[in-house]
Structure 1
Amino acid sequence: MPKTILLAILSILLVGSIIIQPDASFQASLQGLTVWWNIVFPGMLPFLVLYEIMLAFGLAHAIGALLQPAMRRVTGLPGEAALALVIGWLGGFPAGSEAVASLRKRELLSRAQGQRLLAFAHMPNPLFMLVVIGAGFLHKPIAGMMITAAVWASALWLLLIALLFRRRKQNETSADAPSEDGDRSVASAGLLSAFAQSLQAGREQDGRSFGKVLGDAVAGSVQKLMVVGGFMIFASMLARLSEPLLSPITEQGFAFLGPALFESHLGAYAAAIWQAPGGSAAFACAIIAAVLAWSGFAGILQTGYAITGTDLKLLPFIAHRLNHSLHAFLLTLLLWKPLSWLAAKLVTNGAFPAMLQGNPADYGAGGGIAVSDLPALWPMSLSAAGVLLLLALLVRFALGTGRLPGGKFR
């Protein structure tokens, strides 16, 4: 009852704020829509479609069979978890969360395994970090590479700590314990044989034709991205309307804090044009890495939507996001000098790195993000879609256009 009353009061306050500030609400919504259309939609669509195709054609089962011994011995997770990690790290959030939720719904993961995998499969899109932040926001691709390295290295460091802590636990549950029988069965059958059998079993379990699989994959992925866009627009509007509440902090020079709290893409842009104390590029890039690791309330809400219908919890996930953000910030500062030395050997122009010119106050004052300031990922998305279609055709050819061993079509 108290929770319901609190949500009702917050909803009334939000509606009142929109009525009082209609222009600011509209501009904020437009900013969120611009970021979603230019960056998130083209950056995530190929990976979501690819994951659905891999599930339908049994590739997820086959990859799981190949990686099952290594994944169980190293992480205590089934082989299919490797695919969720790959999709999450290459596709950006919430692609990893979608993959983890799918594995949990099919009961390929226990609750503890799913909770652990959910924390590490939620990563920012590498194209956004490398192309948009590095080349677009900072005008130095090498800076985007350093931020990407810090975000990924901090995630791997936390994964290593979690694995060491898990191995030291004396009361490990049987669900998370490695299955020696499964490992021996895969080894005895041979990797190639296990791969082929799992591929055929997964394909027979799905049974849809190639055209049906491709159509469902595109339709389902677009529907998920529409939900993601709604969350981003909502978070962008909350960031703008909450500026008066955050003014005591933003007036001290931390103008990026509001956008970073609610939406990581907008927060990364605000941090990129933020004038760091003393003009320190290392501190500014560390802030960007922390914002990306946090992912904002929009990214957290997207994960909450993805795990709907499962028994996975959002509170431990939020705690991990804060932990990852802190480690990404510290690791960027620690790696800055050695990576700068390495970059100086690779880059000879001497201009490393250069921040965007601009006044941070302009971000919250009404200018916001212009379309021209946001490099679009559409060219990369079209190239990825072409590779995806070629891969799907190769898979269809490898599976004999859907024939069963007896030569009959499904």
Structure 2
Amino acid sequence: MRQPVFIISRGITPFLTAVAVVILALAIVLFPQPVFQAALRGLRAWWEIVVPALLPFFIISQLFMGLGIVHFLGVLLEPVMRPLFNVPGSGAFVMAMGYTSGAPISAILTSQLRQQQLVTRVEGERLICFTNNASPLFMLGAVAVGMLHNPTLGPALAGAHYGANLFLGVLFRFYGRRAPASPPGNHPLLSLPRRAWRAMIQAQQRDGRSLGQLLGDAVSHSFQTLITIGGFITLFSVIIQVAGMLGILDLLARLLLYAGHPLGLTPATAGALASGIFEMTMGTKFASEAPVPLGEQLTAISIIMGWAGLSVLGQVAAMTSKTDLRLGPFILARLLHGFLAAFMVQLFRGPARPVLGWLTGSHFLSTPVSWLSLGVHYTGFTLTLAALLLFLTVLGLFARLTLYRRF
């Protein structure tokens, strides 16, 4: 009985996709002016925000893969990542980059780990579920300062967003627990640095590229990835515009109003959630402008950032298309992420506010914060991260010099 239903569903999906594409094409022809403006907004967002924020991290990540630093971290951090998240130690690199630079870099790095057989399919699916985040620059700068005009809300939004994703990492460690796992390292802790160094040297030997070729490939590959991301951002900016003109956003808003009723959401924020289904930036902007109490704005923004939008889902699908990683667990994780973050952001503004204030700095959440103090507060974190990346890069270059004696 199931086979005919399955065949019908497989036939309906391409048909509906084709209809949607035809409608989009007709809308572009019939409404060229608003579609052009929407595409221009998407391109500006990509060029002014995405490229400066992600390009350095993309290049660094490619260098780390080529220099064997991922293998170094994989061995060194195996005792931490395996018990907590049930993934190999190499997942720590994906986690660090995903939590500091935002989506879709975690999908790119996870795909590369899968292609190099450093993680199994299930481990890759676990890893991608809890390392996809909004950029800290987006949450602390664009949302808290630019949209909400209140920098003190940044730690609450970021804390809820990251905290919910870390909880998902622990939760998803039980996903596919009966599936085969990559061989865990079972060696004394004192031998980890020596084994990590050996793993990095072996990875560089297998790579075999000169430093000049490695740099060129890193820059080229990073720009190709960013062009793909820019295409998705522009496309979904147009889709949101067309959906709004055709009344689709209003229909989605009515449906989301029922789903968000337990969270206290009103029609004013349901429209923002409808836009956030497609694209995160526009959704959070509409939520910040909704004439509702601040708590409801933060709830809607947290849901949208946790879900990330169909634009990010499309980017992740494109980045993992050459692997056997499935997107079902990832989509489920994004839904859970949105609702968990919405709950936690209210927790951080209420009972857990003193704890968050202690973690982010003395009196940071209870006193007015200027642009200068905000910059000083996060400069220490930024410099620490930059110093760590620089140290690891120098370590990889030293290993290459030791191995080859010349460039």
TM-score (norm 1): 0.81
Of 277, 290, 294, the residue aligned with 1:274 is 290
State the partner residue of 2:41. 31
Q: Is the 8 A contact 1:242 1:258 kept in 2?
A: no
State the partner residue of 1:245. 248
Tell me the distance in 1 between the aligned counterparts of 2:200 and 2:243: 51
Q: Per the alignment, do residues 149 and 393 of structure 1 end up closer, same or farther by CA in structure 2, a change over 3 Å counting?
A: closer
Q: Is the 8 A contact 1:28 1:237 kept in 2?
A: yes
Following TM superposition, where does structure 1 have runs of at least 4 consecutive aligned residues deviating by more than 3 angstroms?
1-4, 248-252, 338-352, 382-393, 407-410
Q: Is the 8 A contact 2:307 2:335 kept in 1?
A: yes
Tell me the distance in 2 between the aligned counterparts of 1:220 and 1:351: 39
Tell me the distance in 2 between the aligned counterparts of 1:148 and 1:24: 34
Runs (5+) with no aligned partner, structure 1: 353-381
- Give 1:394 shift: 2.6
Does 2:342 align with 1:329?
yes
For each residue in 1:188-223, what CA deviation from the matched residue of structure 2 results, as whole angstroms up to 9, or x when unmatched?
A: 871221121112111111122222211211111111
Q: Per the alignment, do residues 291 and 202 of structure 1 end up closer, same or farther by CA in structure 2, a change over 3 Å counting?
A: same
Higher relative contact order (CA 8 A, sep 6+): 1
State the partner residue of 1:372. none
Q: Which amino acid aligns with 2:166?
A: L
Tell me the distance in 2 between the aligned counterparts of 1:256 and 1:139: 18
Q: Is the 8 A contact 2:126 2:169 kept in 1?
A: no
For each residue in 1:359-403, what CA deviation from the matched residue of structure 2 results, as whole angstroms up to 9, or x when unmatched?
A: xxxxxxxxxxxxxxxxxxxxxxx999997995587346523x634
Matches within 5 A, 1:57-76: 57-76=67-86
Tell me the distance in 2 between the aligned counterparts of 1:138 and 1:153: 21
Tell me the distance in 2 between the aligned counterparts of 1:75 and 1:139: 36
State the partner residue of 1:172. 178
Q: Which amino acid aligns with 2:341?
A: A
Of 89, 101, 110, the residue aligned with 2:111 is 101
Tell me the distance in 1 between the aligned counterparts of 2:275 and 2:241: 8
For each residue in 1:119-147, what CA deviation from the matched residue of structure 2 results, as whole angstroms up to 9, or x when unmatched?
A: 11211111111122122222222211110
State the partner residue of 2:220. 219
- Give 1:71 shift: 2.2
Q: Which amino acid aligns with 1:402?
A: L
Of 331, 337, 361, the residue aligned with 1:318 is 331
Q: Which amino acid aligns with 2:249?
A: L
Tell me the distance in 1 between the aligned counterparts of 2:171 and 2:299: 21
Tell me, what secondary structure is at the counterpart of 1:394? helix
Q: Is the 8 A contact 1:53 1:392 kept in 2?
A: no
Query: Which has the higher mean CA deviation after the structures are superposed, 47-56 or 327-336?
Result: 327-336
Runs (5+) with no aligned partner, structure 2: 1-10, 255-266, 371-381
For each residue in 1:40-76, what CA deviation from the matched residue of structure 2 results, as whole angstroms up to 9, or x when unmatched?
A: 1111111111111011111111111111233223332
- Give 1:92 shift: 0.6
For each residue in 1:270-311, what CA deviation from the matched residue of structure 2 results, as whole angstroms up to 9, or x when unmatched?
A: 1111222xxx21221121111111110000000000101111
Q: Which amino acid aligns with 1:154?
A: A
